[in-house]
Structure 1
Amino acid sequence: MIQILLADDHAILRDGIRALLSREADLCVVGEAGTGRQLLELLATTPADVVLMDINMPVLDGFATMPFLREQFPQVRVLVLSMLDHENYVHRMFEAGALGYVLKNADSAEITHAIRTVAAGQPFLCTEIGLGLLSRVMERTPPPAAGARPAGSPGGSPASPAGRADLSGREREVLQLIAEGYTNAEISEKLFTSKRTIETHRQNIIEKTQAKNTAALIRLAMAEGLIA
């Protein structure tokens, strides 16, 4: 059972998240806080595996709370749940010690998947931010010159990318749909399988490619020809 603390200054949002997570057998909300200070006080008496925390909070916001969390409760994993989608906020929270970042407009499947991923000690970045970052990276990166050879490709023959053969056909299907911006729930509908199965495929893809987040995963997949 993954024990979760919610930290957000909007009670109605906390109620919604609690209701959402109550439908998941392996997720349990053990407490709520409206400020960063309340969160720290609550953690002193309430063990938790994951803190689902907003950035904009009174008294102590997410940025100010992170150093105390890392110092006093280093075993607790932090998943940011925010409406702030600029890469500067994402970078600052990851640099401060957060393990995941998901937007409040993400669907329930992505939020629950993010919690499970972070609880397992793996980083998570929601699809929308990942695709946005990838788009900006591609805008800044000039296309290769005509006739340029791929790195490590003697005689002009494309190198066989490491890890390409490791992905199953179904994993490549899932990877392609991730790159196209589909959520886990939408992918499960398209492939006529359960969301849990898609989550498993997604985790296997990340482990096999060693990608740290969605943006890195898609960038690697495009570079290695794993997706169209």
Structure 2
Amino acid sequence: MFNLPNMKRKKIRMAIAEDHQMVIDVLLSLLHKHEYFKAVIITTNPQELLRQMACTPVDILFADITMLYRNGHELANQVKELFPRIKMVALFEKGQDNIVNTMIEEGTIAGYVLKTTDKQTLTKALENMIEHIYINDKTLNEMPNPTTVRLRKVTPETTHLTDRELEVIRLIEQEYSNKQIAERLFISERTVETHRKNIFRKTKTTSVIGLIKYAYVHKLVSIR
């Protein structure tokens, strides 16, 4: 059980810099329900982030890795120089493994989180991270079982969605039924069902909502 005996009177203050509203919503939902975490800065603008951090104390920064790595990870270096005590955790998507690994090697970030991580796993990872950083004064790479927030290098993972499966995903996002998808693509409903099963397996999702979230995060569909 997670326990912070010396920090009961003070929440962990977090800044979120992310350009996907769905990811922000997931993080806010998680932090809102947890007694030890509090989001004090939320922004989609890197420069606005620096301005707000100069006025608002922050313990941990969650930031989209493309923001941190912009122009040779200029933002990450600015944060590290201006606010050296703040721990940076990169939010990344599959396919950005090289950037994550570069920042790990350079010691720029304290950890990373895959954007498609489910709430329960993310909560556990956050708790482990806070406990080791603030209680035992250890860095994340010393954690015995770091789950999703970690400093081990990322192992690339490819989903291998076919062009047809991408078509099906886009039609599902538009709320097409199996019958409508079959008519649109000139295939049988049984074939549509097979595509759906393969899509859920490859994306490791279990519901239409989860699949749509995955599609938004990985930019498989355009947010309307």
TM-score by length of structure 1 reads 0.50
Taking a change above 3 Å as real, the CA distance of residues 66 and 84 of structure 1, as seen in their structure-2 partners, is: farther
| 1:182-201 matched pairs, under 5 angstroms | none
Alignment equivalent of 2:92, drawn from 82, 103, 125: 82
State how far apart, in whole Å, the 1-side matches of 2:73 and 2:94 are: 13
Specify which of 59, 64, 78 is matched with residue 68 of structure 1. 78
Match of 1:28 in 2: 38
Q: Percent identity?
A: 26
Choose from 127, 132, 136 the match for 1:116. 127
Letter in 1 for 2:140: P
Distance in 2 (CA, whole Å) between partners of 1:123 and 1:40 is: 24
Distance 1:4 1:67 in 2: 18
Q: What is the aligned partner in structure 2 of residue 37 from structure 1?
A: 47
Instruction: Determine the C-alpha separation between the residues in 1 that align with 2:30 and 2:90.
Output: 17
Please list the CA deviations of residues 12-41 of structure 1 after superposition, one character each: whole Å capped at 9, or x if unmatched: 321221012111111111111112212111
User: What amino acid does structure 2 have at the position aligned with 1:105?
Assistant: T
Structure 1: unaligned runs, 5 residues or longer: 136-228
Cα distance, 1:127 vs structure 2: 4.7
Do 1:85 and 1:103's aligned partners in 2 also have CA atoms closer than 8 Å?
no
Contact 1:6 1:14 in 2 (8 A): yes
* Contact 1:6/1:52 (8 A) holds in 2: yes
1:79-114 deviation digits (Å, cap 9, x = unpaired): 111114554222222225201011011121332233
Match for residue 155 of structure 2 among 133, 149, 154:
133
Letter in 1 for 2:155: L
How is 1:138-153 mapped onto 2 (pairs within 5 angstroms)? Answer: none
CA RMSD of aligned residues (A): 3.2
Rate the CA distance shift 1:84–1:61 in 2: closer, same or farther, 3 A: farther
- Alpha-carbon shift at residue 123 of structure 1 (Å): 1.4
User: Which structure 2 residue ranges, 5 or more long, are not aligned?
Assistant: 1-10, 134-138, 158-224
Tell me the secondary structure at the aligned position of residue 65 of structure 2: coil
